[in-house]
């Protein structure tokens, strides 16, 4: 398995975990709402209101995670490019980036990669840039040394 394939797999695993966590939380909230409805008087609605609010938030997070999963399915690990694009590993003089989705730090094969979104501030600086391009971000001067 190539480094790109492994990075994509890790991103998918982390998103799958998020999806499962949100589904579990939604199930627990629904069970709490049902037990509240059975055991509470009609006058006390504050507990159910908070639970419904939590349910909405978790359903929104679940939707976002599912969209991220769909987005990751657009990444092709066998595409090579001379410019940074979705699915590229971009090595710089300071750190390595994997342009995919905002997952954060991934340690793999004695190297550290930062999975970032195309829409993130640093993603916007990297996208469509070739090797030997320099840019500044957070008062650091980066030089793109390799694109895989």
Mean pLDDT by 10 residues, the chain (148 residues): 97 98 97 80 66 96 97 94 96 98 95 97 97 96 97
Q: What's the pTM?
A: 0.89
12 and 65: one domain? yes
Domain that holds residue 104: 89-147
Whether residue 43 lies inside any domain: the answer is: yes
pLDDT for 30 equals 94
pLDDT for 102 equals 95
Round to whole Å and give the CA distance between 80 and 57: 39
Whether residue 46 lies inside any domain: the answer is: yes
pLDDT for 35 equals 87
Length of the chain (residues): 148
For the chain, the domain total comes to 2
pLDDT for 45 equals 55
68 and 12: one domain? yes
């Amino acid at each position: 398995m190539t480094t790109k394939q492994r990075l994509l797999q890790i991103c998918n695993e982390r998103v799958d975990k998020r999806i499962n966590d949100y589904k579990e939380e939604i199930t627990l909230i629904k069970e709490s709402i049902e037990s509240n409805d059975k055991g509470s008087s009609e006058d006390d609605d504050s507990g159910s209101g908070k639970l419904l609010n939590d349910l909405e938030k978790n359903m929104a997070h679940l939707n976002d995670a599912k969209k991220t999963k769909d987005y990751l399915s657009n990444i092709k690990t066998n595409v090579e490019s001379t410019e940074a694009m979705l699915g590229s590993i971009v090595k710089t003089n300071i750190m390595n980036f994997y342009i995919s989705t905002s997952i954060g730090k991934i340690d793999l094969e004695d190297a550290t990669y930062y999975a970032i979104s195309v829409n993130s501030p640093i993603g916007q600086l990297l996208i469509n840039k070739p090797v030997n391009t320099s840019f500044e971000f957070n008062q650091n001067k980066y030089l793109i040394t390799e694109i895989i």
